[in-house]
Each structure stands twice: as C-alpha cells, then as structure tokens.
Amino acid sequence: FGIGFDQLLMVESSSYKGVDFRYVIFNADGSEVSQCGNGARCFALYIQKKNLSYKNPLSVETNTGIMVLTVNNDNSVRVEMGKPNFLPSIIPLKTNEESNEYLVEGFKVGSLSIGNPHAVLILDDISDIDSTALKIQSSNDFPEGVNVGFMKVISKDEIQLRVVERGVGETLACGSGACAAVIHGIRLGLLNSKVKVRLNGGNAMVEYDGKKVYLTGPGEFVYEGSINLRSAPS
C-alpha cells in the first residue's frame, strides 16, 4: 500500500491494573479518535513482532473501554470490539427518539456507536458514494461528525462495504465500520450473526451475538521507518 497512513497508532502503558497496554489513535488530519478495529489488529501484530509482550490474548485500554485482542495461528487477529450503543445521545445524533433507521438529509440510515459514530446506508449499487457521504457528514444531525458506510447485501452471510471515515475520507477498510454495517443488517433481519465483509482492502469476518461484536481479519507488515519529531514542521 506504500508509505502513509489513515491512522497513527500509539502504544502506551495502561493506567489500569491488569491491562497490558493503552491504545491511542489519531486520524491523518490530527484528530484523536476512540476506536479503530483494523488498527487494533495491526496493534496486536506489532506488539508481537517487537516482542513487547508474549501474552495472548492481550487486553488494551482505549478511550471508550477495554478491548481484547487475540492473535490466531494463521496470524489473523480477533478483536473483541465491545458492545454497540444505539442511544442517540451517545452516538451522538440529534433526534427525539431511538429508532432502527433515521432520515438524514433525505437518506435513510442506520446509526450506532462502536466507540465512534457510524451511519450505514443499504444500497443495491455502491459505485457512486462521494456526494451522498459529503451530505451526511456535513449534516448538523451529527454534531461530532460521522463515519458513513455504504453496504450492499450479497446474502445473509456476506456483504460488500465501502466506508468514508470522518477526518480521513474513504479508506480501503474500516473495522468498526464493518461491525456497524453488520449490526445494522442484523437488526433489520437481513443478515445472520456471522458475516463475511468484502472491503476494497480485503475481507474481514464480523460476529455479533446481540451483546458484543467481534472482528477477525489479517494484518500485513508494510515498512519500517523513523521520523525526527523535533525537526518536523509545527
């Protein structure tokens, strides 16, 4: 994929007893976010590669709670993403009452938080999404912005997904976006509890038991470099 990043991930010591690390995430625009499922997989593999811990699974602290990361024998990583929240006040989404779907800028969307806010649209064609994503992300209904997922249902066990992330733009893959899309599809009765998610950057598996959601997928080491932060422009 070349040099660059969608998210900058920082490995820090946890402030909680019994928790292995703190997982800190910044978007490419410098804004800090509370959740990144794909990043969590890379986080676990990096810790393993650098021999920072020999524990498996790992528990990591985030701004929204504790995540559990398990490296599988095939080097894929299973991430316990926690419990989704559907309360508009938590997402946050400006609306009077909770619903499975909302009308935002004329578009029907599902909305939930998995440590970060998501809006999910179900479409038959997800080839042209830019203008719709811009309208939803610019809406006053989402005061803290929103990640917008465009889902095409292939079967009850498989979907195709594109995600435009706040502070980043469209990414090749979005783990929390994959979870949000599958959860929304399950709530509408369109999907089973274990779903393959096809993203432009690869495939992931999402499982939702009605309480916690799990994301499983691979990670790949691309390059290693260093930067002198003292000489970086302010």
Catalytic residue among 24, 77, 120, 174: 174
What distance in Å separates the CA atoms of residue 75 and residue 66, rounded to the nearest whole number?
Answer: 22
| Active site (annotated) includes residue 42 | no
36 is catalytic: yes
Check 24, 25, 36, 93 and give the catalytic one: 36
User: Active-site residue numbers?
Assistant: 36, 174
